[in-house]
Amino acid sequence: MNVTPDNKILVQGISEEQGSIYAARMKSYGTNIVAGTSAGHGGQLLHGIPVFDLVEQAIVEVGAIDTSIIFVPAYQVLDAALEAIASGIRQIILITGGIPPLDMVKVLRKAEATKTLVLGSSSSGIIVPGKILLGTHESKFYTPGNIGIIGRTGTLTYEVAWELTQATLGQSVAVSIGSDPIVGSSVVEWLQILAADKNTKAIVLVNHIGVPCEETAAKYIVEELDKPVVAYLAGRKSQKKLIGHANAISLRHREMMFASQRDGLASELTPEERQIAAFKQAKIPIADSPSQIPDLVKKALKK
């Protein structure tokens, strides 16, 4: 992922309520938003940003674009994403949630064929504190530093960032990979990105209990990553009650359906138990609450 203050950013769906609000916030933060698109609104200026009907029209005027942030309604995301990819944009952030699963599959197939990185859907985007905001992160919770955060949802990521900020542990980058059942780039991909980031000294993983990915992530951390990692799994103390994000609940049920088909000990464990077991086996500290994360990070950095 190429994220620098010099990146040229496009907002697709800039005339949508969310698109307009967050385009203004991103621009105010210093993000280099060079254009927006919204069918039927071409030729207008919104927050000083030129608006075009089509992505290709924007590129003719402003040149190559690094990243598109998509705010269009769910049923329009497929067309918007394919339009961006066809125009040579290789980094796409899907803020919109609830995208039809088949549409997401089509987007991701095209992205794979063109080596396009997709973040989301239902993502809060990326923030490099003090430098660039790409999405809907609440910037007031963040401060520049060297702790990377990878989260499934935005609100939990904000809370963790605020706990770190209060403990004078600034953040190098925070990324929300999205909370929908089908998302683009994975936790492991972002672990790889942060592993190569010289500004990141430690990483915090933030997830809901019952959402799959930890087993693969833990394996990568043990075998490949030389930076300390701390995890927080929301709902860990719920005593197996179904709480939290609706998509986390959906994913948990799906995992339980297939659990009986797995071989070995894993088939006898619930999704929650597999998540926790994977981290413990990898000797990754697991915080009981967001407030515990700063102390665990400080201990991990000392090691």
What region does 266 belong to: left with phi over 0, alpha with psi -120 to 50, or beta?
Answer: alpha
Separation in Å, CA 29 to CA 133, 168, 217, 240, 298 = 7, 21, 32, 41, 29
Q: Transcribe 149-168 into DSSP letters.
A: EEESSHHHHHHHHHHHHHTT
List active site positions: 245
Specify the DSSP class assigned to residue 265. G
Distance between CA atoms of residues 9 and 26, nearest Å: 10
Residue with tokens 């994977």, as numbered in its chain: 278
In this structure, the number of other CB atoms found within 10 A of the CB of residue 65 comes to 21
**Contact (CB, 8 A) for 68 and 93:** yes
Residue 139: exposed, middle, or buried by beta-carbon count in 10 A (0-12, 13-18, 19+)? Answer: middle
Phi and psi at 247, nearest 5°, equal: -70, -30
